[in-house]
Structure 1
């Protein structure tokens, strides 16, 4: 079974994800824009049972546009948000696709909160 490795920018916080993601989603919500400093965020969702975490992380909880809390986990050294837990989906963990630093990572298959999409950003159909 394939193992994918994700980490923060400094390498202190690492995740090992077994198998393929359940889904990969491109999110245009304003909170993802703020979290990433970009025009969207991209998350790979893995079953909680298929994730191993090593290193120290800090937490930040915020409400989502859907009204459910999202607990973000980031490296206290470099500040990279590596993974988060959406309370409305307790069986999965979302991992920032950029944390894999893998150009061959599977592309997003869906796009959410398109009403906040910057018009010059292409999105999967």
Structure 2
């Protein structure tokens, strides 16, 4: 999706604008970490250049060491605790936006599905969907898998 994107948290205390720039198409993650973090079967994300994000409102930060060894920081609304985006030290300068926080979230259809080996068995994926048992390991692999937005 081209152009400027806007969104915010559940309670409205945090708002953001994502300027047009380096961003990848949205993807669905079916890993058990996302399942535990969201209390759902998967989460939808979009990788983007952190420098393109302008945000207002108070954020809090949660931290987590991923099984890969990458250190993640999860940024969300300090009031309603809705997660907005995350960074990790394996992707310097990039962040992962939670697509459900976008004002036009319904227009973001996942370009691919990662960690399908841990997908809930009752989740059906569209015929012909791009899938990976795990996830791309480099920025180049992410771009090849989901493409630039």
Normalised by the size of structure 1, how large is the TM-score? 0.89
Output one character per residue of 1:75-124: Cα deviation in whole Å (capped at 9) or x when no partner: 12111011111221112111110001424433211221111101221343
User: What do the CA deviations read for 1:27-65 (whole angstroms, capped 9, x no partner)?
Assistant: 111111111111011111111221111111110011223
What is the root-mean-square deviation of aligned Cα atoms in Å? 1.7
The residue matched to 2:12 in structure 1 has which SS? coil
Distance 2:101 2:48 in 1: 14
For 2:87, the equivalent position in structure 1 comes to: 85
Q: Which has the higher strand share?
A: 1
Partner of 1:4: 5
Superposed, which structure 2 residues align to 1:62-73 within 5 Å? 62-73=64-75
Aligned pairs (5 A) from 1:101-120: 101-120=103-122
Q: Is the 8 A contact 2:99 2:105 kept in 1?
A: no
Within the alignment, does 1:16 sit opposite 2:17 as a pair?
A: yes
Q: What is the TM-score when the length of structure 2 is the normalising length?
A: 0.76
How do residues 20-39 of structure 1 correspond to structure 2 at under 5 angstroms?
21-39=23-41
Secondary structure of the equivalent of 2:78?
Answer: coil
Q: Larger Cα Rg: Structure 1 or Structure 2?
A: 2
| Structure 1 gap ranges (5+) | none
Matched-pair contact (CA < 8 Å) for 1:23–1:46: no
